[in-house]
C-alpha cells in the first residue's frame, strides 16, 4: 500500500507549449523494484480537467493502473504550485549553472532536450518542455527504486 500511496503523489511536487492548461495530459510507464525482488509494472495518467480562474486552482485526474487494477483520484492544486512552461524554461536555461547536464533523452514518447539533475535521494530527474515538466525520473523510497518514463502527452488549450 505504501507503494501505491507513493505513486499516486509522485508527480504533484515537482512543459514550445503554454502550460499548465486544461486538457494537458501525460502518460507514464513505470517500474517499482524492491530489494527483495518484488517488481511492479504500472502506468500513471494525469490530466488537467478544470481550472477555476477565481481561485487559481487546477483540478486534475490521476489514474494509476497496476495489474489491470485502476486507482483514480482527483486532485486540486494551486496554480502557483504547478510546473509551468516558464518554470521549465528557467530550469533548462540555468541547468548547467545549477549542476545539471543538458542532454537529449529518448523515452517511449520520443526524444526530448532535457536538464538531467541529481536528487538528494540518489535519484535522477530529466526535466523538459512538456506538460508537467517531467520526461523521466528515477526515485528511491528507502531501498525501493521507482523509474518512470513519459509514454505519451497531449497539450491542452
The cell 492548461 sits on which residue? 21
Q: What is the average pLDDT score of the chain?
A: 88
Among the residue ranges 3-7, 16-20, 73-77, 150-154, the one predicted with the least confidence is 3-7
Are 51 and 24 in contact by the 8 Å Cβ rule? The answer is no
pLDDT higher than 70, residue 17 = no
Would you state the pLDDT for residue 4? 45
Structural contact between residues 59 and 51, judged by C-beta atoms closer than 8 angstroms: yes
Q: State mean pLDDT over 96-101.
A: 95
* Least confident among 42-46, 77-81, 100-104: 77-81
Nearest 5°: the CA angle 35, 41, 47 is 125
Give the confidence band of 85 by pLDDT, cuts at 50, 70, 90: confident
pLDDT tens digits, 28-72 = 999 999 999 999 999 999 999 999 999 999 999 999 999 888 999
User: What pLDDT sits at residue 120?
Assistant: 85
What integer pLDDT is reported at residue 18 of this predicted model?
A: 66
Q: What is the pLDDT of residue 125?
A: 96
- Name the β-bridge partners of 146: 32, 139
Query: DSSP per residue over the chain, as a string?
Result: -HHHHHHHHTTS-------S-TT-EEEEEEEEE-TTS-EEEEEEEEEEEEEETTTTEEEEEEEEEETTEEEEEEEEEEGGGS--HHHHHHHHHTTGGGT-EEEEEEETTEEEEEEEEE-TTS-EEEE-SSTTSEEEEEEEETTEEEEEEEEEEE---
The residue written with cell numbers 537529449 in the block is 104
User: What pLDDT, in 10s, does the model give residues 107-127?
Assistant: 999 999 999 999 888 899 999
Amino acid at each position: 500500500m505504501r507503494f501505491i500511496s507513493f505513486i499516486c503523489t509522485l508527480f504533484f511536487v515537482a512543459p514550445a507549449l503554454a502550460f499548465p492548461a486544461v486538457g494537458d495530459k501525460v502518460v507514464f510507464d513505470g517500474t517499482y523494484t524492491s530489494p527483495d525482488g518484488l517488481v511492479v509494472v504500472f502506468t500513471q495518467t494525469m490530466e488537467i480537467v478544470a481550472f477555476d480562474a477565481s481561485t487559481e486552482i487546477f483540478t486534475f485526474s490521476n489514474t494509476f493502473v497496476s495489474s489491470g487494477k485502476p486507482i483514480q483520484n482527483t486532485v486540486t492544486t494551486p496554480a502557483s504550485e504547478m510546473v509551468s512552461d516558464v518554470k521549465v524554461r528557467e530550469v533548462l536555461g540555468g541547468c548547467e549553472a545549477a549542476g545539471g547536464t543538458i542532454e537529449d533523452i529518448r523515452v517511449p514518447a520520443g526524444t526530448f532536450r532535457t536538464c538531467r539533475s541529481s536528487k538528494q535521494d540518489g535519484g535522477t530527474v530529466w526535466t523538459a518542455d512538456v506538460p508537467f515538466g517531467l520526461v523521466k525520473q528515477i526515485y528511491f523510497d528507502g531501498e525501493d527504486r521507482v523509474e518512470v518514463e513519459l509514454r505519451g502527452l497531449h497539450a491542452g488549450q
